Structure 1
Amino acid sequence: MMLFLKLFLAHLLGDFLLQPESWVKDKEENKIKSSKLYFHIAIHFALLVLFLQFDFSKYWFAIVLIIVSHYSFDLLKIYLQNKKSKRIWFFIDQFLHVLILSLASVFYTDFFFSFNDFFTDKILLLLIATLLVTYVSAIIIKIIITQWNPESKKENDDSLAKAGRYIGILERLFVFIFVITNHWEAIGFLLAAKSVFRFGDLTSSKDRKLTEYILIGTLLSFGLAILIGVLYLYTLNLL
């Protein structure tokens, strides 16, 4: 584990702290001819050697594997991404980097992974509760309140695409975490904060139906998150 943490820290420093935004833009514009790409790889190499205490004779395989794969993944991302897929390729690229770091760590340590050890009753219960409080709840709320939707799509709508859905998912996740960690007072703070942000929409609208619609959606969202959190704790105590 210590080896992986060292490699991961080197990756975080090299990919985020020590990579200016100007370097990222230069790589995207000049691709394989970008000098900043090779500066970036050189920094990663230096960090790896530093964190591995200059023991190149022992860790040469890990260093070569990480550097070659990092260069390859960065080039792959640069050439395949476009404006729409840039966000997706960022996460794919980071996932592949961490995967290589894990493989390099396993090569030097005795490690055995079993899915049976990972998918315990408690972890499965948490995964189920997380799905329920995010996507399943979103569908349930949509089915319940769609019949009352008083809003019509406006041409000059400044709202972000699907922003309401993601805000709902995040707020239910927060409420769920507050419930299972026994921080009920934080739920009131979150509800008050949402009310403040929604105040402008409600006052400018002068639409009673819209006000009732927002209140129903908010109460359903918070109510479902609290219910799922309580049921999760109850079921957890039975295991």
Structure 2
Amino acid sequence: MAFLTSAPFLALLTAHLLADFVFQTDWMVAHKRNPGVLALHGLAVFLLSVAALGGHAEIALLLALVHLGIDAIKVYSLPDTLLTYLADQAAHLLTLAVIAVALPDLVDTGLWAGHATEILPAAVLLSGGIAATLAGGPAVGLLMARYRADAQPDGLPNAGRTIGLLERGLIYLMVLIGEPTGIGFLIAAKSILRFDTVSRDRSISEYVIIGTLASFGWALLIAFAAKALAISLPPA
């Protein structure tokens, strides 16, 4: 598993997460069955991979084509479920791992040659932040989809999504700064703020509990993984 701390893997992981969760808008996700929109996403993967590697356009192009192939299978052939989402991301990560193992010196021969040890900590923190917050949203949303029709609490449009992003971001930050006990206060605060709503309806109560535990669990898993990865990096 040494490839996890290698420069090619971390560089391409950052590019992947930026392409999938920062530069891919909700509109693009909703219209991804359109070949032009899918191609636009592939272009983003290519450009971000070139930037992350400091060149090597041919490798970035190959990666973008494989990425498009994986996305095409998911969009055109598979149902939109949590399992499909996780399998899709696992396939992308496997692609990055294969490239990192096959070409371990990829970053060292690009524009970032000699600067990898300085850049990698920032790449880990950025990747972890995106994975904990933005990547966690679809995962939790797909998990909760089966309950949404019967127990969706009334509220502002997209408020639940924003709350989820903020709580996962705070959890990620607390773990990184070594204050995981603060997560207990976050749980208590959310319980107090939601008490009036959930106390009146058992279905809503259970919906909120499941969603909260899923969101917190995702953020904790990513946060501790990112922290362990950062500690394992070679010294600058």
Q: What's the TM-score, normalizing by structure 2?
A: 0.47
Q: What's the TM-score, normalizing by structure 1?
A: 0.47
Q: Which one has a bigger Cα radius of gyration?
A: 1
